[in-house]
Chains A and B, each alone.
Chain A
């Protein structure tokens, strides 16, 4: 056994073990817990760094255990999994810092951080899963690990939101499992392979394969919040801000979108999916979601709810990218996997800062907040402009690739969807920015609990959004820099299309 065999497993364990240890800690052991958390997050980043380096050198990292004949647990690092691993472990690092500051002094923190670590372990497992069964297993673990986080506050609203979440995701998980088992019956064990594995099956199975695709899409679409399967997401916004960040940017929603990408590229294979006509169907579903989510976001006054519907809309860009045939569209979708995560986490950090510092929860209460909290608002502004697709923020880069990809694939109508969605995004984000920067602040904030000192709020709350906002800007401005997300996505697209 060498490092190449153990590295994927180690990356999963680097948050799993601290998580399990944290469960055993007493509530008041703050320092030990913080050290464990930060050690796990940092150690994971180091391991991921080693893995990125290795994958660039064409090193193969794979951990394999036989559970039963024909049932193997495989953790495998390819270019696509590394993309997601980097996103989730990178953002997890910042979310952990944020959560430590956010939950300071609140009860049940050991339980919270325990499940928090489990959550990211499951997500990394999803990212590194080398076959469909491993994917399904970690996907289910993620469902279960997230439930206590949404219910964390224990209020009737929180338990209701968590219950709705569980109903949705358990059903979705079941559908995914049925699809996976059905597929295994037809094709034997399904490993994830660039370019797909199903095109070798006889053509008379096409009908079944289409059915299986929509079955699995229903399962994945629940987490990816495809309309009409998105109902849980706006309800789950009762959870504390770090959990929202986790749901919307790091783990849950992303796991669903990543799953769709995996199924299209590495199970069906893009060309086979295209020949079955599945891509058009997926593109239409994604487009409906994009427009519907944006329209709903426009109608919300509660800030986090508006952001939640914005996620519904934005995550479907990833599915849309997967549905556009051709390397350019693929790059667009993969880029948005990262870009949406970084921009959305910035927005949720910002919303959390407003709530935690000033007690501001509604868009209509944001007047003049830019004067009281300029750094948070600046970060929020960058995130929001990126979501609209204003250059040079990262969102523009992914939209550009999606647009050019759609034109190349002869799907000009997708450009109209992108344009309408941009207008709607502007319509629900710009009024927020206007209030924050151009209105006069009220004489008193709803519930000011952190006074303005050297900084506008606690540094643990301020640092994460400022850094992620800077990242969102840098990813756009320096799009073609070496080792950028764009370059990495190109690598994946080249391998997928065998160019």
Chain B
């Protein structure tokens, strides 16, 4: 029975996806998450694995504490977002397609959370990643389409890196495909470790692999960006926690690399985020910064494996807090933009947004304060005690980012499409959960937090806001200084440079080709062919024979050289 429920949690949304395109099934996203919620309600946090021997290479599904925590916040976010996605007015004539992709992504996400073997996890991860394209690119437009393409390209690169990494890890694990076996395998091979780190790193916006994220978040519809920025980005973290060898031998080089990458993310992303115009891009950079804290924590665990059990728990708590609040912020942006302005409930939205912004900035009594407090044992370990004060400054950065967000939202024009007030109720429920979060999960002193970073942040933000108000042209230069996707800008001239450098090479190649073809035609003229056929020369008999002999000769030389 419990096994069937573990299957139903991901299989039910996938089954619904088969019919969700019909207009009569507009409600299907909302019922998709029900079995997952049932799992949370009925099953204990640790349940026996359920094996389906004939599926994939023997698929195994189970619930453990880590999976339970991820399932808890993810299914709540899917449930809340599904109310927005089920809105019939909002999504235009292709709403059915959006529902299908939403349910597919949901099924994939829930599947990977419950997966207890590497292949099932990978299947869920791939399904989620690809289906999310439909959430990004919905309702066209050139910019959104470009964002979708960027998302898909990076996702595919991530899949391929992950595939290669898992193959290498599976080889080291002598064919065992359980999560623990693969993690042990990844410890044996540096390359497998790197590929797995990168494969999930693209999803989790590891610095350097992040440029797709602000562009995608910036242009995707806010309601779907909400699920991208919450449940899905955290799937990358879960991947790391499942497949990286945490708690085994110390890996100081990898660990230190991750700590520094995390720090770069925390401070770099906050600064770049301040220059953004699009609310989604601001939130995106904030996500990169927050994921940076998780990357940093992961690095510390790799340096000192003794931290693993408590450290993983703290990272999970932080992930849950960030997912809930970030999802809430995106949905708030959606409401702010699409709720008809003159309505009575519209003024509630900015109040909620302000609260969420404070929670993200670790204000006292908020979920952020609790999450930060839980991280402390991790941060004060060994030689890294200075990280604690460094991260306090990161809080200032977050607060400034949130101030920037509120500023942009305040001046945001209303959208032409409107959303129904049902979303507001779902959002309200999410806010209640976030408010209750520290009270349920923490002790009194845990969430009192520290107020002074908040005070510093406000002290910087207010003069800046006044300046921007009175003398807009003084601050205007900063806005849009760095476009979303930052290092992509560097890539563009680089590509031009490579193209220019390749120009002569290509010319030489073409000339050599023409000469070769000319030579062949002199040996054996072929009848001229009017339709364009670039391989014609290759089909010439002499050419085929010469090539075959040439390749064989080359291989023979290689053979002899061995």
Contacts and interface: CB of A to CB of B under 8 A. Distances in A.
Contacts of B541: 167
B381 interface: no
A407 B157 contact: no
Given A404-B175, A482-B54, A231 B538 contact: yes
B547 A228 contact: yes
Interface in A379-417: 385, 388-392, 399-400, 403-404, 407-408, 412, 415-416
B558 A228 contact: no
Nearest to A232: B539
A327 to B, nearest CB: 11
Given A228-B547, A419-B164, A390 B130 contact: yes
B562 A277 contact: yes
A392 B163 contact: no
A438 B55 contact: no
A281 B126 CA distance: 34
Nearest to B550: A228
B535 A234 contact: yes
B271 interface: no
B552 interface: yes
Given A430-B156, A477-B56, 10 more contacts: A218-B548, A229-B544, A280-B555, A280-B558, A281-B556, A328-B175, A391-B126, A403-B163, A403-B164, A423-B156
Contacts of B57: 479-480
Contacts of B538: 228, 231
Interface in B52-95: 53-58
A408 B168 CA distance: 9
B181 interface: no
Contact of B167 (A164, A404, A478): A404
A479 B56 contact: yes
Contacts of B539: 164, 231-232, 235
A118 interface: no
Contact of B53 (A210, A392, A480): A480
A113 interface: no
Contacts of A399: 163
Contacts of B119: 391, 400
Contact of A438 (B56, B126, B137, B552): B137
Contacts of A253: none
A284 interface: yes
Interface string A474-487: 00111111101000
A34 interface: no
B555 A281 contact: yes
A358 interface: no
Interface residues of B, number: 46
B326 to A, nearest CB: 27
B559 interface: yes
A422 interface: yes
A235 B529 CA distance: 13
A478 B156 CA distance: 24
A471 interface: no
B293 interface: no
B163 A419 contact: yes
A100 B163 CA distance: 41
A102 interface: no
Contacts of B163: 389, 399-400, 403, 419, 422
Interface string B525-548: 000000000110011010110011
B167 A403 contact: yes
A422 B175 CA distance: 22
A23 interface: no
A407 B54 contact: no
A235 B552 CA distance: 25
B97 A404 contact: no
Contacts of B458: none
Nearest to B529: A160
Interface in B27-66: 53-58
A231 B551 CA distance: 16
Contacts of A418: 164
A424 to B, nearest CB: 10
Interface in A419-435: 419, 422-423, 426, 430
Grouping DSSP codes into helix (H, G, I), strand (E, B) and loop, the A interface class, with mixed when no group exceeds half, is: helix
12 contacts: A228-B543, A281-B552, A285-B555, A288-B551, A388-B156, A390-B159, A391-B56, A391-B126, A415-B164, A423-B160, A477-B56, A480-B54
Contact of A284 (B55, B160, B547, B555): B555
Interface in B126-169: 126-127, 130, 137, 140, 145, 152, 156-157, 159-161, 163-164, 167-168
B157 A423 contact: yes
A92 interface: no
B122 interface: yes
A174 B168 CA distance: 42
A497 interface: no
A307 to B, nearest CB: 16
A231 B535 contact: yes
Contacts of B56: 391-392, 476-477, 479-480
A214 interface: yes
Contacts of B225: none
Nearest to B156: A426
B379 interface: no
A385 B159 CA distance: 13
Interface string B193-236: 00000000000000000000000000000000000000000000
For the complex of A and B, the 8 pairs showing the least CB-CB separation, nearest first, are A407-B171, A403-B167, A231-B539, A481-B54, A228-B547, A281-B555, A391-B123, A277-B559
Query: Most A CB atoms within 10 A — which of B163, B535, B562?
Result: B163
Nearest to B535: A231
A214 B175 contact: no
Given A228-B547, A418-B164, A280 B137 contact: no
A392 B555 CA distance: 36
A135 interface: no
Contacts of A389: 163
B430 interface: no
A84 interface: no
Given A415-B167, A426-B156, A228 B55 contact: no
Interface in A219-235: 228-229, 231-232, 234-235
A144 B191 CA distance: 50
A390 B167 contact: no
A437 interface: yes
B197 to A, nearest CB: 16
A231 B171 contact: no
Interface in A354-397: 385, 388-392
Contacts of B130: 385, 390
A415 B126 contact: no
A412 B164 CA distance: 10
Nearest to A171: B541
Contact of A478 (B55, B164, B547, B555): B55
B170 interface: yes
Nearest to A157: B531
A479 to B, nearest CB: 6
A281 B559 contact: yes
Contact of A231 (B55, B126, B191, B544): B544
Given A228-B538, A419-B160, A423-B156, A281 B558 contact: yes
A385 B141 CA distance: 25
A165 to B, nearest CB: 11
Interface in A173-223: 210, 214, 218
B277 to A, nearest CB: 26
Query: Most B CB atoms within 10 A — which of A232, A234, A281, A285?
Result: A281
Given A228-B544, A229-B548, A437-B97, A400 B535 contact: no
A389 B156 CA distance: 11
Contacts of B558: 280-281, 284
Contacts of B145: 438
